[in-house]
Structure 1
Amino acid sequence: MPLAHEVTGPADAPVLVLGGSLGTTRAMWRPQVAALSPRMRVVTFDHRGHGRSPAAIGPTGLADLGADVVDLLDHLDLSRVHYAGLSLGGMVGMWLAAHRPARVDRLALLCTAAHLPPADTWLARAAQVRAHGTASLTDVLLGRWFTAGFADRHPEVVAPLVADLTAGDSEGYAACCEAIAAMDLRPLLPTISAPTLVVAGADDPATPPRDARVIADAVPRARLAVLDRAAHLANLEQPVRVSDLLAEHFLEEE
């Protein structure tokens, strides 16, 4: 069964696949879907164990998450697409561009990292979620997802994210934490041939700009943009700026 997904936009337009952050659903991309779908066919999906996608039985690695997206592309009969991913979605994007280069035309990597040690931190988070559920992470994650005061000013943005997080599958979330713990994509970065945009939030405590610079310096001809007044979910905190960057990268550049 393919990942839960949604397709929006003209059937004959360039296809953009959007991969979301750990603990979120495809709903996190609503501003970008609204902005880009008039000119692009936008595919959003839920990672395994997130939203309406069931968790897999047994261990999960980044290769499994990448293979899920390949299976989705096959299901939708999409041979080659643009891909943008944020956080976990960006990690999947790097895997796809390195291991399945024929499937990725242009690539955008938002608020992500190629390596996120120490592994023990991710394994501890997995254990916490298995013991206490995803809701136990809410306060910590809100402090990482957004800059100070954003949640109070924009409850209409934050409340649906919290609802999706707390309704999430604990085992699916934990398995993705273990995939991140084992991940080191740095050796693969120089092999990525897709034109790549790297975006960082200047105030992101989870994947700060230094992580984005590692990617941008290693991927041939990658371009880096650092957004002020943005933390980890920069696409929601700076929706217009992120949508404009994606449109420029996927639609307007040669």
Structure 2
Amino acid sequence: MTEPIVFLPGYLCDQRLFYAQAYDLARDHIVIQAPLIGERCEEMASSLLPHLPRRVTLVGASLGGIVALEILRRAPDRVARICLISADALPDAPNVSADREPQIIQCRTGRLDEAVAAALPAEALAPGPARPNALEFFQDMARSLGPRGFEVHTRALQRRRDHQSSLYRAQCPVQVIAGAHDTVITPKRQEFLAGLAPNGAFTLLDTAGHLPTLEDPQAVTAILRSWLKPKARAA
């Protein structure tokens, strides 16, 4: 039994993003599905910290990964290990931040589905039979958050801090999982981030893009199970 696993959902997602992984890992781990509450990543981390167990394993996707890094920055002694899935530790580039503004306007004018499609185009997922279902699942989660949730999550991404130093200073194991077809946060960028951590590891899934937990849930679960196994001590 390792420390409790805290799943932090991604941009425009809720706890359903980790349904397959949480269901499987709950057989022999304490699993916590944590919401993202607040206007900024810092507020989301602040709202969670008082309610988390003393030591935790953090698994965050996309926006949830940024919040996980913020928790690591604030309370490194409370993080036993951290897994980032399709996440970025760098701040929004000016051109990317600017491209988000039309999406926010679409939301405010009743065109949420158009904004969601622009935020995550189909091409950001791996081609094949899993793509339509994963995309529809993502869109359904985004609709559940609604226009207000869309704007809050988007502003949080625009205002996020640079967490390269958080990774560089991390003393815990850091696992980064990327989809080979991700065009939102490229695998090259994610591999670079894994390399910043002293105990970083990088895994690339050829079967996924930006939503690995939905596109190839069994593969992500297998990676997490292997990563969570206690390492044998040298004699």
Residue 60 of structure 2 corresponds to 85
How far apart, CA to CA, are the structure 2 residues paired with 1:104 and 1:169? Answer: 32
What is the percentage of aligned positions where both structures have the same residue?
Answer: 21
Distance 2:146 2:189 in 1: 28
- Cα gap change, 1:170/1:198 in structure 2, threshold over 3 Å: closer, same or farther? same
> Hey, which bits of structure 1, 4+ residues long, moved more than 6 A?
none
Q: TM-score, normalised by structure 1?
A: 0.80
What is the number of residues matched between the two proteins? 227
TM-fit CA distance, 1:253: 3.1
**Partners of 1:86 and 1:18 in 2: CA distance:** 8
Q: How far apart are residue 207 of structure 1 and its match?
A: 1.1
**1:144-183 alignment to 2 at 5 Å?**
146-150=125-129, 155=133, 158-183=135-160
In the alignment, what sits opposite 2:163?
Answer: 185
Q: Which runs of 5+ in 1 are unaligned?
A: 1-11, 49-55
- Does residue 104 (structure 1) correspond to residue 65 (structure 2)? The answer is no
1 CA distance for matches of 2:121 and 2:56? 32
SS of structure 2 residue aligned to 1:22: coil
Can you give the 5+ residue segments of structure 2 that lack an aligned partner in the other structure? none
Alpha carbons of 1:187 and 1:139: their partners in 2 closer, same or farther (altered >3 Å)?
same
Matched residue type, 2:107: V
Secondary structure at 2:77 match in 1: helix
Q: 2:15 aligns with which of 17, 21, 26?
A: 26
Give the secondary structure class of the aligned counterpart of 1:164: helix
- Give the partner amino acid of 1:238: D
Q: Distance in 2 between matches of 1:199 and 1:110?
A: 5
> Of residues 159, 177, 200 in structure 2, which corresponds to 1:199?
177
AA aligned to 1:186 is Q
1:64-122 CA-partner distances (Å, limit 9, x unpaired) = 1111221331xxxx111111111111111111112111221111111111123232123
TM-score calculated relative to the size of structure 2: 0.86
> Using a 3 Å threshold, how does the CA distance of structure 1 residues 148 and 96 change in structure 2: closer, same or farther?
same
Mapped to 1, the partners of 2:164 and 2:2 lie a distance apart of 33
**Secondary structure, in 3 states, of the residue corresponding to 1:82?**
strand
Change (3 A) 1:35 1:142: farther
Query: What's the counterpart of residue 240 of structure 1?
Result: 218
Candidates 115, 118, 130, aligned match of 1:137: 115
Corresponding residue for 1:44? 33
